[in-house]
Amino acid sequence: MVLFMRRIMETAHVSVATETIDLSSEIWKIRIILSGVNENVRNMLSKSNMDKKIGRKNICRDIHEALVRAANKLKENNKSAAEKLHL
Rounded (5°) CA angle 8-38-16: 30
4 — phi, psi (to 5°)?
Answer: -85, 120
Compute the average pLDDT of residues 16-26: 72
In order of their start, the domains of the chain are 2-84 (3.30.750.24)
Give the pLDDT confidence of 39-77 residue by residue, as tens digits.
888 888 898 888 888 899 999 999 999 999 999 998 988
Percent of the chain scored above 90 by pLDDT? 21
Quick check: pTM over 0.85? Answer: no
